[in-house]
Amino acid sequence: MKYDTQKFKLIKNQEIATGIFDWVVENKELPALAKCGQFAHVKVPGKTLRRPISICDATDTTLRLVFQVKGEGTEIMSKMKVGDEVEILAPLGNGFKIEKGKKYCFIGGGIGVPPMLYTAKQAENPLVITGFRDKSLVILQDDFKKAGAEVVLTTDDGSAGIHGFVTDVLKERLNEIGEVCACGPIPMLKAIAEICKDKVPCQISLEERMGCGIGACLVCACKTKLNGEEGYTHVCKDGPVYNAEEVVL
Ligand SMILES: Cc1cc2nc3c(=O)[nH]c(=O)nc-3n(C[C@H](O)[C@H](O)[C@H](O)COP(=O)(O)OP(=O)(O)OC[C@H]3O[C@@H](n4cnc5c(N)ncnc54)[C@H](O)[C@@H]3O)c2cc1C
């Protein structure tokens, strides 16, 4: 795995839904190395620890990062200006493995939706199921359509799209799906893993509080079950993407 820390230039910063910001950052070298499901570790001015943000999309010279303001770090990021320099360590982690000729279903819940965009771009005619709490948080629907995906929108309160959960749609469409890839809150991932168990392979991307991002500080431990044995691996280095049956959720 090749990664590095370099200066990027912020070339777009736009609020695309309530408290959710769309960044595009430019650098000549690192974006070309990015694979779907990997993440960028962003140095926030005035903060010691970096903030991990999934790669939402990439070109040879740009990374797109979509983030929700949660605390001080992301608040500072939301206020940065186009033209500002940002130091980013990227691309980190192991992403989704996408095979040719399979019918993929990509599922994103809330702020777990952004990494599914670059991932959906790696597959042919994918089904994308996105779920949000309500219509004020809906993001990236047109981007998925432009990428050639069939995109289904659900909201918990029915204020946009189908009234219900992503899992309702997954259950209905399971027989046409060859593999599932998902990112979002743990209860959603747990329910998806349960539906897929013994039926279709399922990869899930975990978010765990992390420090260094490269497996040195061991903060982001995650309980896993490999070859029947329970143990711990680290989300930053061994993940964030795992086969669902390997994770003790
Ligand atoms: C692999 C990965 C990918 C992520 N991708 C995205 C994304 O695409 N968009 C997005 O909005 N958010 C994403 N997150 C969550 C995001 O990193 C946190 O919301 C962010 O770090 C919060 O920082 P803060 O300073 O605003 O909040 P604070 O709560 O003030 O943060 C304090 C500390 O806790 C850490 N922290 C807080 N919440 C989380 C969390 N959920 N996960 C990991 N560390 C956390 C921060 O990095 C910081 O070190 C991702 C997390 C991981 C691990």
- Say yes or no to pLDDT of 219 above 80: no
Q: Do 126 and 145 form a contact (C-beta atoms < 8 A)?
A: no
To test the pocket of ligand 1, the residue of 44, 49, 53 to mutate (highest count of ligand atoms within 8 Å of its CB) is 53
Assessment of whether the complete model's pTM goes beyond 0.85 = yes
User: Span 12-39, mean pLDDT?
Assistant: 97
Going by C-alpha positions, the residue among 36, 39, 56 that lies closest to residue 96 is 36
What DSSP state is assigned to residue 144?
H
Residue 71 in contact with ligand 1 by CB distance below 6 A? yes
- CA-nearest residue for atom 25, ligand 1, is 73
Q: Do 60 and 32 form a contact (C-beta atoms < 8 A)?
A: yes
Q: Where are the domains of the chain?
A: 4-92, 104-205
Question: Which atom of ligand 1 is found nearest the CA of 50?
Answer: 47
More confident residue, 101 or 213: 101
- CA-nearest residue for atom 52, ligand 1, is 207
Q: Do 183 and 115 form a contact (C-beta atoms < 8 A)?
A: yes
Q: Measured in angstroms, how far is the CA atom of residue 42 from the centroid of ligand 1?
A: 10
Residue 68 in contact with ligand 1 by CB distance below 6 A? yes
pLDDT band at 1 (very low <50, low <70, confident <90, very high): low
Question: The domain 4-92: what is its CATH number?
Answer: 2.40.30.10
Query: Among 7-11, 17-21, 81-85, 220-224, where is mean pLDDT lowest?
Result: 220-224
Residue 49 in contact with ligand 1 by CB distance below 6 A? yes
Going by C-alpha positions, the residue among 81, 42, 86 that lies closest to residue 210 is 42
State the Cα torsion 216-185-88-180 to the nearest 10°.
90
Residue 76 in contact with ligand 1 by CB distance below 6 A? no
Residue 112 in contact with ligand 1 by CB distance below 6 A? no
For residue range 78-101, what is the model confidence (pLDDT) as tens digits?
999 999 999 999 999 999 999 999
User: Span 153-159, mean pLDDT?
Assistant: 98
Name the class of domain 104-205: alpha beta
Going by C-alpha positions, the residue among 176, 179, 132 that lies closest to residue 18 is 132
For residue range 46-75, what is the model confidence (pLDDT) as tens digits?
999 999 999 999 999 999 999 999 999 999
pLDDT band at 226 (very low <50, low <70, confident <90, very high): confident
